[in-house]
Amino acid sequence: MRWSRALVLAVPALALGAVAWLRRDALLGACAAYAAVLAVVLRRPREVREVAALAAERERAFSRERAELQARIDRLSAEREIGLILNEDVDFRTILDKVLTITADTLGADGIEIHLRDEKGDLVPRAARADGRTTFDVAARKGDPLLAAVLEHGKAIQTAEEGRLTVMAPLSSDRELVGVVRVVAPPDRGEQISRHLAEFSKFLALALKTPDLYTRATVDGLTGLSTKRRFLQQLDAEVAAARRTQETPSLVMIDIDHFKKVNDTYGHQAGDRILRGVAEVILNGTRRSDGAAFRYGGVEMAILLNRTRPERAAEASERIRRAIQEKKFLIDRRRSIHVTASFGVAGFDLSMEDGAELIRHADEALYRAKEGGRNRVVLAERPVRV
């Protein structure tokens, strides 16, 4: 059959070639050459198919290499962006938000969670991103066997169910397992995520380890406010800056009213919820550009406002006081209560010896607020220059 088809074209090709040679006709020569090529093609279909298959395979290999290169470029660009963030910011929540956003976009993930180890070595959920939003109030996955397996063996695990792909990879830095990243994505993203998450997770671990350690040292674990040690360091810095620039800070001391009664009535767990809730109100009411909030000790908190007159600090304190008074604080799933807080406000004066004197003036104002009936803001009297 092959020979017959080849001869059908080969004979006309020879005839056309002879006529073309006799007539010196280029068109006839081209037709003869084309007929000859067809004869060869029909004679060797297997060789042609092999050549076509080889070309198709090379095209697929080229496409894979191109996709791999593009993914690598995307990953390196993401790492550069994260590096810039680490240089610009020290607030761990801000860092986590931006890191999760970049990671989700780079991997094409629908959801992503970061779990980091605490001082005891247990995994603690620190942040999650889904539907274009980052949240820090993430429920712990206690007893999750897959997370435990990743933590124990230090190897990635991939599962697929209900049309969703889940990949969990260890976050390792300097041979230390610092946590686990959990990625949820469409199944068609599985190959890309599996190829690149292992490499990207190493960078994530390195990027998050340092700010996480810094945060543990400077942020109170219960309230999310900065620690007293950090407060005293910041106060000294603000006082030194005030003497150079003549722009003075103000200090607000805050105490939750009747907190012992809350603990005695509802228990210490309820008390912890109240502390976290009040701290959240304070944080929301304090712009980072204006100052910072601290847990000074027990139920006493502080706000240090840079370059702020005491009158303005008192106005800001009044807004926070009202927000605390109006907020419902959950005791358990069924019950909630209202609490109030008292505020003492003092401004630093250049006649003061140091930051300790500013604390004393703010504490005296807070004491007067308590004595005056609580749930109020009291502004300290200005020191009299001698």
Counting every residue written for the chain, the total comes to 386
Amino acid at 352: M
| Cα 290 to Cα 204: distance, rounded to the nearest angstrom | 31
- pLDDT in the model for residue 27: 47
CB 218 within 8 A of CB 92: no
| Cα 381 to Cα 345: distance, rounded to the nearest angstrom | 9
Model confidence pLDDT, tens digit, residues 252-267: 999 999 999 999 999 9
- pLDDT in the model for residue 46: 67
Name residues of the chain where pLDDT drops below 70: 1-52, 55, 62, 64-79, 81-91, 210-217, 383-386
**What SS3 class is residue 285?**
coil
- pLDDT in the model for residue 1: 47
Angle 35-38-43 from CA coordinates, rounded to 5°: 130
Mark 160-179 as b/e (b = at least 16 C-beta within 10 Å): eeeeebbbbbbbbbeeebbb
- Helices marked H in the chain: 2-23, 26-43, 45-88, 92-107, 145-153, 190-218, 228-245, 259-266, 268-284, 310-326, 355-371
pTM here?
A: 0.55
Model confidence pLDDT, tens digit, residues 165-199: 888 888 887 777 888 888 888 888 777 777 777 77
230, two tokens: 């950090």
